[in-house]
Structures are given as structure tokens and as C-alpha cells.
Amino acid sequence: MLNASVGERIAIAAASTTLAILIGLLVVAFAGYDPAQFLGNVVVGAFGDANALARTLKFTTLFILTGVAVAIAFRAGVFNIGVQGQFVVGGFATVVAILQLAPFLPTGATGGVLLMLLGTVAGVIAGGAYGALPGILKAYGDANEIVTTIMLNFIATGVVGYLVDGPFRGEGNRAPNTARIPEYVSLPRVVFDVPDFSVVGLAVTLAVVVGIAWVLARTRFGYDMVTSGHQVAAAAFSGVNAKRTVVATMTLSGMVAGVAGALFAIMIQGYYSDPAGIGTYGFDAIAVSLLAANNPLGVVPAGFLFGALDSAGSHIRINSDVPVQLIDGIIGLVVLFVAVPELFRMAAERTGLGGEN
């Protein structure tokens, strides 16, 4: 695995995914359910009609952005396990910014666009700052970024949960939610007439992917990121400030997670609720990135796969007698089979095991 090329790693990930699904179908059969019917429900739940496809693309959008956020750090040899926290902080900052600025801007389409832009900027800044914190601790305090980012996930969930249940709770809300953002602050319904997905959001996501891929492959900053993470001595010899680059890497990763949080807040929720009850997109993004061999462009099909699985799971929970735990177990198998080979490769690379490259 240490010497595997990107293409070989992607092939291994694809084979792992296929094997995991086959074993999952065997588990379904041994549990006394019809695996063919289950597989049919998966296809229908993910692609059966316009609503199913919209639901798949909605989840795909979030998985792509959070997956790219993870891939940025992993490509640079930094383990950002805190994308979920950066996603939460970015989404909350987006809603708060929109609610605070709405009285000072015009209503209608013009005001809506301005508020979405300003809210997204707030989310990007908040996510980037929250990502920079463990980067600073790692670069200048020699703190393990795995530990600090995991801790910061819990802190983000707890603090934002307190804020939406306290100072920022919408007036008259029975549930711990903020006030709703104005109705004119929404993405247009293009192609799909559903309230929680817009093709515009997917287009923004793909634009971010292309931008990040270009930065990593075509700029000095991207070269410095990868070099600082994997070849510290070479980076120092070429004049790269490794510590500063680690902080910049974590900041950029958090900024992309902040974009994901902003899209979640604007396109899907329209307010912000207790983050303990929202999807674990930032955690699932680790498997998405690993499936894509930490390649931003590869994250697109990987995110689509996970989006389809999540969408199918939502459908099967309602329209099938297969227990929810069995469905989650199958998704867990996919995550496990995809993650383990790549994690072994990354561990070998990080520890120097496996011989000469």
C-alpha cells in the first residue's frame, strides 16, 4: 500500500466498496430478509424518482465539501479529524450573520443574494479560524492534532448547542433552534422543485472542488503544503516555513468545512438547531476522502456514493421492514472496508514503515 499509485489506491478502494456491499447483502440474507429486494430498495431510494435523486444530490453536496476539507489536510500529512466541528461553527456563524445583517439590507432577491454571500463569508471565516486553532497548537505547541481536533468537535457541539438553546434561541420556539432566516434568503429551485436542495448549491460545491484541486496541483502554496507534510527536511531546505504551512493548511481545510456549513444552513435548514441532532457529515467525510485517495477531484464520485447510500438509507427506513441497525451496519462495513487499506498506507508513510519509496 505504501508504494501504491493513486490509480491503484482508487482501484483498491472501489474493490473494497464492492466487497463491503456484497458482504452486507449476505448479512441481510442471513438475517432473514431478501437481499435482492433490499438492493432494489437501495436503487429506488437513491435514484427512483426526482425527489430521490434530489435527496441523493443534497447529501452528495455536503459529503463532497466536507470530504475535500479532510482531503486538504490529509494530502499535507495533517490529520484533521475536526471537520465536523468546523462544519458546525461555520453553519452557526452563517445563520447568526444573516439574522444580524438582515434588518440593514433590502429585502427581495438583491438583499437575499447579499445576505447569502455575507453569511457564507462569515461561515468561511469561522470555519477557517476554528481549523487554524489546532494547526497553531500542532505547529507551535507540538500538540497532537488528532486529539485536539476531536476535542474541538465536542466543544463546538456543546457551545453551539448552548447558544441555540439560550441567547440565540428564536422567540417562541419550543425546540432549541434559532429564528428562521428570511424566506428571500434562499437558493433558487432549478431542475428540482424541492425545498432543501438546489442545483446552484451543487454548482458552488463543484466550483470549490476545482479551485482546491488547482491550488494543490498548480500553485506554490499547494506544493509547500504537500512537501511540508511529507518531506519536512526537503521543505526546510527549499525555504518553506513548515510551521506556518501547517497552520495555513488547517485554516484552508476549515474554510472549506465552513462553506459546507453555510450551504447546510442556507440550503437545507433555513435556521440552526442543536448540532447534536444534525448529520455527522464531518466524520463520514474521513471515509469519503480515503475512498478518493485524498484527491479533491476523486472526492466527487466518492461523495456521490455516500450520498446515494444515505439517501437509500432514508428511503429504506420508511419503506422497508429491514431494521435500521442493519442498514447502518452495511454503511459501516463500506466505511470500514474503504478506510482500513488507506489508513494502513498513511500510517506506514507517517511512521516510516514499509521500506524505501
The pLDDT tens digits of the residues spanning 254-267 come to: 999 999 999 999 99
What is the overall mean pLDDT for the chain? 88
| 273 φ, ψ (degrees, to nearest 5) | -115, 180
pLDDT digit string, tens, across residues 100-128: 999 999 999 999 999 999 999 999 999 99
For residue 357, name the pLDDT band (cuts at 50, 70, 90): very low
CA dihedral 175, 176, 177, 178 (to 10 degrees): 130
- pLDDT above 70 covers what percent of the chain? 90
pLDDT at 159 over 50: yes
Which has the closest alpha carbon to 84: 36, 25, 151? 151
pTM of the model: 0.90
Average pLDDT over residues 71-81: 91
What sign results for the dihedral spanned by CA atoms 110, 111, 112, 115?
positive
How far does CA 119 lie from the centroid of its chain?
A: 19
pLDDT digit string, tens, across residues 180-228: 999 999 999 988 999 999 999 999 999 999 999 999 999 988 888 877 7
Higher-confidence position of 237 and 309: 309
For residue 355, name the pLDDT band (cuts at 50, 70, 90): low
pLDDT digit string, tens, across residues 277-289: 888 899 999 989 9
**Residue 335, CA distances (Å) to 79, 118, 315, 332 in order:** 17, 35, 20, 5
| 191 φ, ψ (degrees, to nearest 5) | 75, -55
